[in-house]
Structure 1
Amino acid sequence: MNQLFPPTETMTRPMPKSFAALVALAIAGACLLASPARADDADRALLSTFCEATDIEGSTCKRAKNYPDAGDRACDVKLTADRHSGRFIAAGNPLLVVNYESGCEPHATDNGGSVVFEQSGGKTSFRSFQPGSQVNDCITLAKSAQQDWLMCITGHTGQGNLETGVAEFVFTQDYSRNISISPDFLITAADSIRAYGANVVTCKERSKYFEVSDIKAGPRPQTLTVTVRHADANTIRKACRKVFPKPKEVFGKLSRGEAYVPEGYERRGKFIIDLVTRKVTPQG
């Protein structure tokens, strides 16, 4: 019952929003934080980079050009409010990353992904679709004078298991100027309460993360903070000595050397992640 974060599971699901407002972005003279009509104009300008005008309706393209693995299908792309901009490639032009929903995407890719645009000389160019790589709960931090980090809370739910993590979204550009995104994880966590009735720890572990959330800029440059539900060494010791009450209902059996941490007996606290050293430490 040990819960591992699958290395092939890189998709992100919609997570609680960490921002109350969108980043203001000037696109073709229209501000995304302006009136709804002007916001629609801005989305239309973005959609027009990969969609015929007759296929655009509001923030939706009904038939996206060159959608990945579309075959003969007409794949729709609906832009959402989640979007982030920055210089995510060293010495490159600013990029705009916008979440989308699509009927062509299954649950495995959380029914959507993100579109990458490049901004240069007052113009916006389409660079790629990135199915499954949503930018819901993210912050942009300065990496250097020429480059920014895009740091995100990732997550996916499958068969009752909630998997979350903190990842840097790494941007790479090929010779055709297509841009791809891949997550580089700094923390992974797994919550199995909905799957097994309680979280499980291994008695040899010194700590275990169950969920990460609430990403924010850290107290120092090139750091960030997150809230972590976890079991520290003391919590694991208590679980293995059966100090905690047995969960009312569990599914499956423990393996040797495992113990339950019932819901409500985990610890919760702020952690600092140093993006240069990649060290994760409790705050305060």
Structure 2
Amino acid sequence: MPKQFPAVVALALAGACLFASPARADDADRALLSTFCDAADIKESTCTRARNYPDAGNRECDVKLTSDRHSGRFIAAGNLLLVVNYESGCEPHATDNGGAVVFEQSGGKTIFRSFQPGSQVNDCITLAKSAQQDWLMCITGHIGQGNLETGVAEFVFTQDYSKNVSISPDFLITAVDSIRAYGANVVTCKERSKYFEISDIKAGPRPQTVTVTVRHADAATIGKACRKGFPRPKEIFGKLSRGEAYVPEGYEKRGKFIIDLVTRKVGPQG
């Protein structure tokens, strides 16, 4: 998912807030790392040799914790979970060179529950889903072959019989910006709308809603593009297929959209 996607969330660790001072932050990260790393292999916020790293084979996989982290009751009636982003030389570009580590906080202890390669929690907010459970809603992103893909996803947490916790994204809205790939965004003339980029997730005006900023083409924009109402992009790559049209950079629209997390309906705010 680019990084794509900084988060502003109060985070509790073992019942106490993480402190801002470097020394305390290092101590907090060391406590987290020690759940899957020998003391001799911990250097500041990095484990140089993580135990039981997924699909490591004979490799020694490093795990560097970053500042992106969120906590909440993401499993119904479960304990508080702490999700922390990490970087690793064992992860390729396809997983954005890292993932997230999931910890469970129970009885004043922090317990390692899993590595989740590719499931970064960069641009996220936590919302109450019910009295027993929270939502973790995130902007996701990934760039491949010049196409920037963004989306809004609920990160769904499940726990197996061994108490390992896994994460999977449930997308509510997705977008693709193809300017880097084709020189301009492309729409299909039969479409009534097309999303190019999603950003800036915030709690919505009502409970169980979020707002995002969407760069898009609405029906009027697509109609104008298909009637040759826009100038030709300065530089393009490849050729359009029949029934397609360019929306040059700067001719898209940008606005606030609201997403209802219960009905999953998406629409312009106001």
In the superposition, the TM-score normalised over structure 1's length comes to: 0.93
Query: Which residue number in structure 2 is paired with residue 23 of structure 1?
Result: 10
Query: Which residue number in structure 2 is paired with residue 161 of structure 1?
Result: 147
Q: Distance in 2 between matches of 1:180 and 1:16?
A: 20
Residues 242-265 of structure 1 show CA distances to partners (whole Å, capped at 9, x for unaligned) of 100000110010000000000000
Query: Which residue number in structure 1 is paired with residue 199 of structure 2?
Result: 213
Q: Distance in 2 between matches of 1:275 and 1:256?
A: 36
- The reply to whether residue 232 of structure 1 matches residue 218 of structure 2 is yes
For the residue of structure 2 that corresponds to 1:228, the secondary structure is strand
In the alignment, structure 1 segments of 5+ residues that lack a partner are 1-11
- Asked if 1 retains the 8 angstrom alpha-carbon contact of 2:4 and 2:142, the reply is no
Give the alignment partner of residue 86 of structure 2, picking from 100, 107, 119.
100
Residues 3-39 of structure 1 show CA distances to partners (whole Å, capped at 9, x for unaligned) of xxxxxxxxx23235243xx52323386x423311011
- Asked if 1 retains the 8 angstrom alpha-carbon contact of 2:11 and 2:70, the reply is no
In the alignment, structure 2 segments of 5+ residues that lack a partner are none
Q: Distance in 2 between matches of 1:187 and 1:26?
A: 32
**How far does residue 208 in structure 1 lie from its aligned partner after superposition?**
0.4
Q: Distance in 1 between matches of 2:34 and 2:220?
A: 56
- Asked if 2 retains the 8 angstrom alpha-carbon contact of 1:160 and 1:194, the reply is yes
Query: Which residue number in structure 1 is paired with residue 3 of structure 2?
Result: 14
Give the alignment partner of residue 71 of structure 2, picking from 65, 85, 102.
85
Across the aligned residues of Structure 1 and Structure 2, the Cα RMSD in angstroms comes to: 1.1
Percentage of identical aligned residues: 84
Query: Which residue number in structure 2 is paired with residue 6 of structure 1?
Result: none
Residues 146-193 of structure 1 show CA distances to partners (whole Å, capped at 9, x for unaligned) of 000000000001111100000000000000000000000000000000
Query: Which residue number in structure 2 is paired with residue 119 of structure 1?
Result: 105
In the superposition, the TM-score normalised over structure 2's length comes to: 0.98
**How far does residue 72 in structure 1 lie from its aligned partner after superposition?**
0.5
- The reply to whether residue 175 of structure 1 matches residue 175 of structure 2 is no
Residues 103-156 of structure 1 show CA distances to partners (whole Å, capped at 9, x for unaligned) of 000101000000000000100000000000000000000000000000000000
- The reply to whether residue 70 of structure 1 matches residue 56 of structure 2 is yes
Query: Which residue number in structure 1 is paired with residue 47 of structure 2?
Result: 61
Q: Distance in 2 between matches of 1:270 and 1:51?
A: 44
Q: Distance in 2 between matches of 1:25 and 1:174?
A: 24
Q: Distance in 1 between matches of 2:220 and 2:76?
A: 43
Alignment-mate amino acid for residue 40 of structure 1: D
- Asked if 2 retains the 8 angstrom alpha-carbon contact of 1:18 and 1:215, the reply is no
Alignment-mate amino acid for residue 265 of structure 1: Y
- The reply to whether residue 187 of structure 1 matches residue 169 of structure 2 is no
Q: Distance in 2 between matches of 1:121 and 1:73?
A: 34
- Asked if 2 retains the 8 angstrom alpha-carbon contact of 1:229 and 1:269, the reply is yes
For the residue of structure 2 that corresponds to 1:39, the secondary structure is helix
Query: Which residue number in structure 2 is paired with residue 244 of structure 1?
Result: 230
- Asked if 1 retains the 8 angstrom alpha-carbon contact of 2:33 and 2:42, the reply is yes
For the residue of structure 2 that corresponds to 1:183, the secondary structure is strand
Alignment-mate amino acid for residue 236 of structure 1: I
Residues 180-212 of structure 1 show CA distances to partners (whole Å, capped at 9, x for unaligned) of 000000000000001100000000000000000
Q: Distance in 2 between matches of 1:17 and 1:130?
A: 19
